[in-house]
């Protein structure tokens, strides 16, 4: 067609140009064997990166397996996964190691994290006290996910909140770390909290579910 410029036609208008989604770093933290690696794996849309080593007799007396005797492997550095919440928001998930001897890595893992999930094994909530403390001290917003092993949730969220002395603004959610939908709900609750805390809500906008 006379006068038309194919190059100009091919170029999208500025408003139509693809916009890179916001990426947000989230930690999945908590005590030894509470289900962190399981949660990152269940919710990640990419094959998760794992750094697990087998628990062997060499760890006797070092690894406290009370209550989790069947555990066969443990995270020694981190888990990594990704979940796209909407076309504007992608979460990068970093699972922390749970054993006390690897806690020195938490400081590095926390750099740049906007928020965290503190997972709790409903049978051993005390194993995640230190994780709650870690995020409270650093002012990193977090939600608590109560992983009901064997799908059982004997305690209502309010009872868990009381036992952990959590303030009212920290959401407590019952979950199953093995279930994608359940793990996603915990992440959405965290996003809700982050959005509520963001000044004027300008940094993040609520994703569609
Ligand atoms: N029955 C049951 N098993 C679970 C659940 N969540 C995790 N597990 C199992 O519990 C074990 C420990 O889970 P992990 O995900 O490795 O726990 P972790 O918190 O990453 O452990 P560390 O990295 O060693 O601190 C694994 O064998 C999981 O398959 C659950 O909700 N129910
Ligand atoms: Mg792990």
pTM for the whole structure? 0.87
- By CB atoms closer than 10 A (0-12, 13-18, 19+), residue 150 is exposed
51 CA → ligand 2 middle, Å: 8
What is the Cα–Cα distance from 117 to 37, expressed in whole angstroms? 12
178: which residues sit within 8 A by CB, 6+ positions away? Answer: 35, 38, 42
Asked if the structure places residue 51 within a domain, the reply is: yes
What is the Cα–Cα distance from 74 to 37, expressed in whole angstroms? 9
Greatest Cα pair distance, the chain, in angstroms, is 83
Asked if the structure places residue 206 within a domain, the reply is: no
Here the CATH number for the domain that contains residue 165 is 3.40.50.300
Asked whether 183 and 42 are in contact (CB, 8 A), the reply is yes
The counts of H helices and E strands in the chain are 6, 8
Asked if the structure places residue 48 within a domain, the reply is: yes
At residue 198, the pLDDT reads 85
85 CA → ligand 1 middle, Å: 24
37 CA → ligand 1 middle, Å: 7
Asked if the structure places residue 14 within a domain, the reply is: no
**129: containing domain:** 20-196
Is the distance from the beta carbon of residue 127 to the nearest atom of ligand 1 less than 6 Å? Answer: no
Which residue, 87, 79, 6, 70, is CA-closest to 33? Answer: 70
The number of folded domains in the chain is: 1
Is the distance from the beta carbon of residue 36 to the nearest atom of ligand 1 less than 6 Å? Answer: yes
| Nearest protein Cα to ligand 1, atom 26 | 71
Spell out the per-residue pLDDT of the chain, length 209, in tens. Answer: 444 555 555 555 656 777 888 999 999 999 999 999 999 999 999 999 999 999 877 666 667 787 788 889 999 999 999 999 999 999 999 999 999 999 999 999 999 999 999 999 999 999 999 999 999 999 999 999 999 988 789 999 999 999 999 999 999 999 999 999 999 999 999 999 999 988 655 445 555 44
According to DSSP, residue 177 is labeled T
90 beta partners: 23, 84
Structure tokens at 143: 């939600």
């Amino acid at each position: 067609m006379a006068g038309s410029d194919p190059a100009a036609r091919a170029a999208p208008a500025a408003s139509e140009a693809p916009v890179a989604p916001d990426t947000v770093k989230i930690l999945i933290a908590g005590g030894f064997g509470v289900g962190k690696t399981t949660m990152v794996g269940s919710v990640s849309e990419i094959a998760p990166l794992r750094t697990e080593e087998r628990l062997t007799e060499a760890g006797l007396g070092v690894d406290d397996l009370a209550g989790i005797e069947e555990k066969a492997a443990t995270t020694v550095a981190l888990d990594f996964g990704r979940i796209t919440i909407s076309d504007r928001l992608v979460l990068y998930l970093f699972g922390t190691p749970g054993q006390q001897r690897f806690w020195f890595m938490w400081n590095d893992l926390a750099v740049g994290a906007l928020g965290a999930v503190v997972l709790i094994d409903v049978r051993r909530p005390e194993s995640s006290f230190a994780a709650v403390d870690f995020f409270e001290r650093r002012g990193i917003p977090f939600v608590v996910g109560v992983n009901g092993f064997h799908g059982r949730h004997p305690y209502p969220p309010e009872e868990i909140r009381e036992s952990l002395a959590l303030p009212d603004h920290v959401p407590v959610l019952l979950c199953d770390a093995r279930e994608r939908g359940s793990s996603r709900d915990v992440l959405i609750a965290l996003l809700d909290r982050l959005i509520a805390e963001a000044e004027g809500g300008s940094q993040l906008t609520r994703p569609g579910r």
